[in-house]
Structure 1
Amino acid sequence: MSEQQAAGAPFQTAQEAIDWIVNLVPFGIRPGLKRMEKLMELLDHPERRLRFIHVAGTNGKGSTCAYLSEVIRQCGYDVGLFTSPYIEKYSNRIKLNGQDIPDEDLLAIVNLIRPLAEQLAQTEYGPPTMFEVSTTLAIVYFARYAYPDFVVWETGLGGRLDSTNIVSPIVTVITNVGHDHMDVLGDTLDKIAAEKAGIIKNGVPLISAVEQPEALEVIERIAKERKSTLYLMNREFRYEPVSSRENHQVFDFAGPFREVRDVAISLNGQHQFKNAAVALMTIEVLRQYYALIVEDEDLLRGFKEAAWPGRLEIVSEQPRILIDGAHNPEGGETLAHALRDTYHYKKLHFMMGMLSTKNHTGYLRHILPLVNTLILTEPNWHKKADAAQLADLAKTLLSEMGPAGREVEVIVEPDWKRALEILKNKTEPGDLAVVSGTLYLIGDVRSWILRQTDSEKGW
């Protein structure tokens, strides 16, 4: 950044604006809504002009958002989408009808927000975080430039104190509750559920697939307190798998308003039935509460065409490489089910890189029984988990598996690009290579394999 820019002169390019946002990362994650409330006040409350579908949950948020945004778009509406973290480019996180925010709009909005952020930094509130600036950028883009009919709005971390919770949605979704971000959200499922349930608003309908009794008790209690009608999977709505093969799964849906048969999805894994059913129940609520016009052919086309990069995605055929952003115990379990049920291979070669804040033991217990080779590496990110320490943990768990564990080859290569070359060399015809772990690693690997470029970084 030049001295002129540092002094407050407007940025000249979108890349300069993005660099400024990304350089806010050292301010970290600081839960709370005070800075967001002040920013919205300074901007004359653009968040009040939009109709949000607010989505929280430990896993499945991104896929659920993908289904929702694609179905709404196929039904003829303009739809905004805000997600995190992004897979390759910063602008991926803010979309209108599937297209990234244009550079010229991003530049103009950042030049509007930056003086306000610097003004805020001089007060008792302190400087806004990267995610707060990104959330503000999305709100201003949708409210003043894009004017979508609906905005699919994914939480960043938790819900109650997440910066996305500055909005008042027309419908709320909590996909599930699991063990993730426990350093911030709490060390038990009921505590984590309470944070997720913080997005429940008075009188706003809620759709959820939460299953664990202790988490569900919290969700139900808060929904009742806030007079929010809860549509719960396996109670108000359910799904029935019809068929499943790679890149094509079909299910039947039954809800309180009607049944929908033979819904086809292209996303892989048994868990996608659940994510798609949650999205379909949300669409049904929008039909009933807000007169969303949904033709069945548009609905079915939307579910079929919905895509979500970095989740059970084949990015190379020779050798065959699958990438998946599973990074917590529940994600590891889901990935393990998919590797057993959906994919076929002679040998499985597995490369993983994690952040230091995750529950790696629970994740590895699901994955280790399936692998022939385990390659531990490190994402290019400041909170990365040490590859050698991960290897020590894996070897301890493998020793508990007896003879089967001793047959697994464990390789430590902290440089992810070198680790990827090892993975490729290990993968013979008929084998399957998997890269999994934090999305910071997945984004880099995906970008490198598909375009030979590094991904941008940020949350």
Structure 2
Amino acid sequence: MQIQNYAEALAFIHGRRKFTKSPDLARMRKFAHYLGDPQQKVKFIHVTGTNGKGSTVAYLSNLLQSQGFTVGTFTSPFITRFNERIAINGIPIADEKLVELVQKIKPVVERLDAEYAGEGPKEFEVVTMLMFLYFAEIVPDYAVVEVGIGGTYDSTNILTPVLSVITEVALDHTQILGDTLAQIAQVKAGIIKAKRPVVVGALDAESLQVITQVANEKEAKLYTTPSDYSWSLAKTQDFWGQIFTYNGFGKSYRKLKIKLLGDYQVANASLALSAFLCLAQLEKFTPRESEIRKALITTSWPARFELINEEPLVVLDGAHNLDAVKKLAQILKTRFSERQIYVVMSVLADKRAPEMFACLQALPNVTLSAVEFDAPRAVADFEFLQGDGAIKYYSDWREVLPIVLREMSADDMLLFTGSLYFVSEVRNYFV
């Protein structure tokens, strides 16, 4: 059946198998080959890591655009509409173009289904191929591509980047990637390519050792912090934003500003800036400091400690795993200790829900509610909450909203957090 419109195109994409692990990239390479190997026609920057990928991509894309480059981005998941995942200079792919590209790949998907006994490309492979085809057609100066899960066998990993970026390594997707930091680091290091530089964020010693070994084996120049670049927070800070100093790659910038909260966002911005400066040396263009400053301060990323309303203060943060929740708790401790904070959280079943809730429950100024939502994957069953009267449970997050709003004072905060799917649903309600 021919794809006729946008709804049918999305139905085709989402109708493919989901969340299954491929043992290798042979099928993905064949998929690309049948379509003319579009992944060979663009300069890519490949980004992986447990957390911080989306923010790092946003900063890096903005930095490149500030110098006049046309930049493609590939991210996941989407917050408002599917098209956001594939964009040029921040403009999502048009509905009509998406339909056209789905029409182009559908016969190839069906061919692979036949060749692989019904086990043809899964959903993320299809979305990845749509991205490759779109960028090969537009040919941006650079395309910044975020890995889906892991690295080695992620469908994006058929590309050969001009530069690789690894944000951080933490325990997440352990059923797929491994249950130790070393195992997960090994998978993340799979995006490192022979003699292509790689810039990494602040890594634990175990992960750094693994990634250094892979980089050495592939003769890939490795740039790390604090050896090759560093950052430090300024003594005085804005209420909603952060000021920091950066040193690296022969540059020193004082009083850089970003509007995303959290020390980890300064780390993400510094990593993106390092990747940008590394690329400038590699590609021999001269960065302009004034444009760098403007790019950083104007970068935003939906659902990452995002201010939705000021009075009362309503914030969204997609802290979807334990590592991210720990970072969120640190923001609440250092920036909002004087406020009563009402936290509404929902977590997917494959995450460490009890530990995530316990991390926030330990804060003395937090009132915590657990909620259900319409998720594409199983939500945590919250059985661990039985007998814990301090955490309230609601079968629908909309139930808790009027209750909390009645209890809140003008100086309190309402924070929705947990799964990005959940935060996306809430954001669509507010925005």
- Contact preservation (8 Å) 2:21, 2:176: no
Look up the match of 2:20.
29
Q: Identify which of 361, 373, 377 aligns with 2:371.
A: 377
Q: Identify which of 128, 131, 134 aligns with 1:141.
A: 134
Distance across 2 between alignment mates of 1:345 and 1:118: 58
Q: Identify which of 49, 58, 63 aligns with 1:57.
A: 49
**Range that drifts further, 264-273 or 374-383:** 374-383
Amino acid in the other structure paired with 2:210: V
Q: Does 1:425 align with 2:394?
A: no
Q: Does 1:219 align with 2:211?
A: yes
Q: Does 1:250 align with 2:243?
A: yes
Structure 1 residue 372: deviation in Å? Answer: 3.5
Look up the match of 1:391.
385
Counterparts in 2 of 1:187 and 1:117: CA distance versus 1, 3 Å:
same
TM-score scaled by structure 1? 0.89
Look up the match of 1:435.
416
- Contact preservation (8 Å) 2:249, 2:274: no
Look up the match of 2:87.
95
Unpaired runs of 5+ residues, structure 1, are 1-7, 396-407, 451-459
Q: Does 1:112 align with 2:122?
A: no
Distance across 1 between alignment mates of 2:400 and 2:20: 30
Q: Matched residue of 1:157: which SS?
A: coil
For 1:57-456, what aligned pairs fall within 5 Å after superposition? 57-124=49-116, 126-144=119-137, 146-242=138-234, 243-343=236-336, 345-370=338-363, 371-392=365-386, 395=388, 409-450=390-431
Structure 1 residue 257: deviation in Å? Answer: 2.1
Q: Matched residue of 2:395: which SS?
A: strand
Q: Matched residue of 2:21: which SS?
A: coil
Structure 1 residue 135: deviation in Å? Answer: 0.5
- Contact preservation (8 Å) 1:351, 1:435: yes
Q: Matched residue of 1:409: which SS?
A: coil
User: How many residue pairs get matched?
Assistant: 427
- Contact preservation (8 Å) 1:174, 1:209: yes
- Contact preservation (8 Å) 1:239, 1:277: yes
TM-score scaled by structure 2? 0.95
Amino acid in the other structure paired with 2:256: V
Q: Matched residue of 1:365: which SS?
A: helix
Distance across 1 between alignment mates of 2:196 and 2:283: 12
Distance across 2 between alignment mates of 1:432 and 1:139: 42
**Range that drifts further, 261-270 or 79-88:** 261-270
Structure 1 residue 123: deviation in Å? Answer: 1.4
Identity among equivalent pairs (%): 33
Distance across 2 between alignment mates of 1:392 and 1:33: 44
Q: Does 1:40 align with 2:21?
A: no
**Range that drifts further, 164-173 or 262-271:** 262-271
Distance across 2 between alignment mates of 1:264 and 1:55: 23
Structure 1 residue 86: deviation in Å? Answer: 0.9
Task: Deviation per CA, 1:151-193: give whole Å up to 9, x if none.
Answer: 0100010011111111100000001000111111000000000
Q: Matched residue of 1:142: which SS?
A: helix
Distance across 1 between alignment mates of 2:218 and 2:211: 11
Amino acid in the other structure paired with 1:347: Q
Distance across 2 between alignment mates of 1:381 and 1:134: 20
Distance across 2 between alignment mates of 1:36 and 1:427: 51
Amino acid in the other structure paired with 1:314: L
**Range that drifts further, 90-99 or 342-351:** 342-351
Distance across 2 between alignment mates of 1:388 and 1:77: 47
- Contact preservation (8 Å) 1:387, 1:412: no
Counterparts in 2 of 1:120 and 1:288: CA distance versus 1, 3 Å:
same
Structure 1 residue 117: deviation in Å? Answer: 0.8
Structure 1 residue 390: deviation in Å? Answer: 4.7
Unpaired runs of 5+ residues, structure 2, are none
- Contact preservation (8 Å) 2:361, 2:367: no
